[in-house]
Amino acid sequence: MEETEELSEKKARIEKVEEPKTSKEEYSRRSGPAKRSWLSQFFAAVLVNALYEMKNYPVVLINTVLSPLSFLVLITFVSRGSLLGEAILGSFIMSMFSSGMSLQSDLSHLKNDFKLQDMVVSSPTPWQLYLLGMATSELVYSIPALAVLGVLAAIYVHLTPLAVLQFLAILGMMFVASIAVGYTFATFSSDIVQSFAYSRLLSTLFSTIPPVYYPITYIPLPFRYLAYLSPTTYAAALAQNVAGYLPLSSTAITVDWIVLFAVSVTLFVIASRKARWREV
């Protein structure tokens, strides 16, 4: 009987020693890195993808500024200054769309060369937060170009406070649409060269060929319908309308807003469902 009691006591002591610590303090200590604040993860994405490069390689900002301004100068010279206002608005749209498409190349580079996406997938960070941080970094990266365009707009384009809000909404939806496209293609891209090819092709199709820097009325009517295949056409028409450069009927304005909003939402839904977040 004494032997049985002694064995029971030994067993109880062993179980007590082997019992894992599940106290709040121990759990917090072990899972501290996993519970890192979302805000710090957000700023980490901005730091890695924008601030670091801007600080160490400032020459790359030249391309960011020259890309929209080159078309602005060209359109202004060809039109002898008559389309300066439209060209400034178009430069804003191109800059925002290009910023979103640049996300594709950056994500592909970080995913394939540094395996960052694999690390993020294995962490508690949701893809929405990862995408938000990277998208914000693209906006930060575009600040020099947007600042130059902002000065030009203040001098040559006179918008009312309501028109400014409408224009910002247009740019916001254009940025969301381009971010969705860039993110989706980045998750499927297997090489940075392939990603650059997609980025250049889509940027040309959506921001260079469509009437972004000039009114759509400059396109002959038989070919005008092709321009409506691009969402940037609706964005440019609305921007030119709020600035007073392109008169539109209330029906046309409503249709343009609906199309632009629907395209932005649809592309984002497609990105959330079809993008390859985890490798299979």
Contact of 147 with 70, CB cutoff 8 Å: no
Residue 23 lies in a domain: no
Residue 20 lies in a domain: no
Side chain identity at 123, as an amino acid letter? Answer: S
SS3 for 21-32 is CCCHHHHHHHCC
Residue 222 lies in a domain: yes
What integer pLDDT is reported at residue 153 of this predicted model? Answer: 92
Q: For residue 84, what are the domain limits? A: 37-274
Contact of 241 with 166, CB cutoff 8 Å: no
CA nearest neighbour of 65 among 150, 126, 123: 150
- The tens digit of pLDDT for each residue in 263-273 reads 888 888 887 77
pLDDT band (50, 70, 90) for residue 238: very high
What integer pLDDT is reported at residue 92 of this predicted model? Answer: 93
Contact of 140 with 46, CB cutoff 8 Å: yes
Residue 280 lies in a domain: no
What integer pLDDT is reported at residue 252 of this predicted model? Answer: 92
Contact of 138 with 50, CB cutoff 8 Å: yes
CA nearest neighbour of 41 among 165, 157, 131, 125: 125
CA dihedral (8, 14, 20, 21) in degrees, to 10, reads 90
- The tens digit of pLDDT for each residue in 36-86 reads 577 777 777 777 777 777 777 777 777 777 777 888 888 888 888 889 999
| Among 106-110, 127-131, 222-226, 235-239, the range of highest mean pLDDT | 235-239
Residue 16 lies in a domain: no
Q: How far does Cα 26 stand from its chain's mean position?
A: 39
Contacts of residues 60-66 at CB distance under 8 Å and 24 or more positions apart, as own/partner, are: 61/141, 61/144, 64/141, 64/142, 64/144, 64/145, 65/144, 65/145, 65/148
Residue 112 lies in a domain: yes
Residue 14 lies in a domain: no
| Ranges of H-type helices in the chain | 2-18, 24-30, 38-46, 52-56, 60-78, 84-112, 116-121, 127-141, 143-156, 161-188, 192-203, 221-227, 231-242, 250-274
Contact of 223 with 151, CB cutoff 8 Å: no
Largest CA distance in the chain: 108
Residue 24 lies in a domain: no
Mean of all residue pLDDT scores within the chain: 78
Query: Considering its fold, how many domains does the chain have in total?
Result: 1
- The tens digit of pLDDT for each residue in 161-195 reads 999 999 999 999 988 888 888 887 777 766 677 77
CA nearest neighbour of 102 among 195, 188, 15, 19: 195
> What value, to the nearest 5°, has the Cα angle with vertex 43 and ends 37 and 45?
110
Segment 249-262 mean pLDDT: 92
